[in-house]
Chain A
Amino acid sequence: MTTVAETKDPSPRSIGHGLPLACFAAVAFATPFLLSGNRYLAFVAGVTMIHILWASGMNLLYGYTGLMPLMFAGLAGISAYMVVGLTAAGWSFWLALPVGALAASIAGTILGLPSLRLKGFYFTLCSLVIQTVVTLAFVYFSGLTNGDTGISQIPLPSFAGTPLSGLAYDLVLAASAVIGVVILMVIVQSTLGRRLIAIREDDELAGMLGINVTGYKMIAFFIGSLFAGIGGALYAPYIGFISPRSFDVLISMNIWLMVAFGGRGTIWGPVIGAVLLAPLSFLLQEYYTVKDVLYGLLIIVVIVAMPGGIAGGFKRKRREAAAPVDVAASRRSVK
Chain B
Amino acid sequence: MKDILLDVKAVSKRFGGVAALKGIDLIQHRGETLGMIGPNGSGKTTFVNVISGHTKPNAGSVSFDGHSLSGSNPFQIAKSGLTRTYQAVRVFGELTVRENVATALVDARDAASPDAVAEIADWLRISHRFDARAGSLTLMEQRQVELLMRLVQKPKLMMLDEPVGGLSSAEVRIMIGVLSELKGRCTIFVIEHTMKVIRELADKVVVLMAGEKLAEGPPAQILSDQRVIDQYLGTADA
Q: Which residues of A are at the interface with B, using a C-beta cutoff of 8 A?
A: 1, 3-8, 10, 191, 194-195, 197-198, 201-202, 204-214, 319, 323, 326-327, 329-331, 333-334
Contacts and interface: CB of A to CB of B under 8 A. Distances in A.
Contacts of A319: 133
A116 to B, nearest CB: 11
Interface string B70-105: 000111001100011010001111110011011111
A334 B114 contact: no
B140 A209 contact: no
Contact of B93 (A201, A331, A333): A201
B141 interface: yes
Contact of A4 (B78, B127, B149, B171): B127
Contacts of A201: 92-95
Nearest to B103: A198
Contacts of A5: 114-115, 117-118
B127 A1 contact: yes
16 contacts: A1-B121, A3-B98, A3-B131, A4-B122, A5-B115, A197-B103, A198-B106, A202-B92, A205-B92, A207-B78, A209-B149, A326-B136, A327-B138, A330-B136, A330-B137, A330-B138
B107 interface: yes
Contacts of B107: 195, 209-212
Contacts, number: 121
Interface residues of B, number: 49
B159 to A, nearest CB: 10
B130 to A, nearest CB: 5
> Which one of B99, B109, B153 has the greatest number of beta carbons of chain A within 10 Å?
B99
B2 interface: no
A84 B90 CA distance: 49
Contacts of A206: 103
B106 A191 contact: yes
A205 B130 CA distance: 19
Interface string B116-133: 011001100101111111
A256 B86 CA distance: 34
B226 to A, nearest CB: 38
Contact of B171 (A195, A207, A334): A334
Given A201-B92, A212-B107, 7 more contacts: A5-B117, A10-B102, A211-B75, A211-B103, A211-B107, A212-B75, A326-B136
B52 interface: yes
A332 B169 CA distance: 17
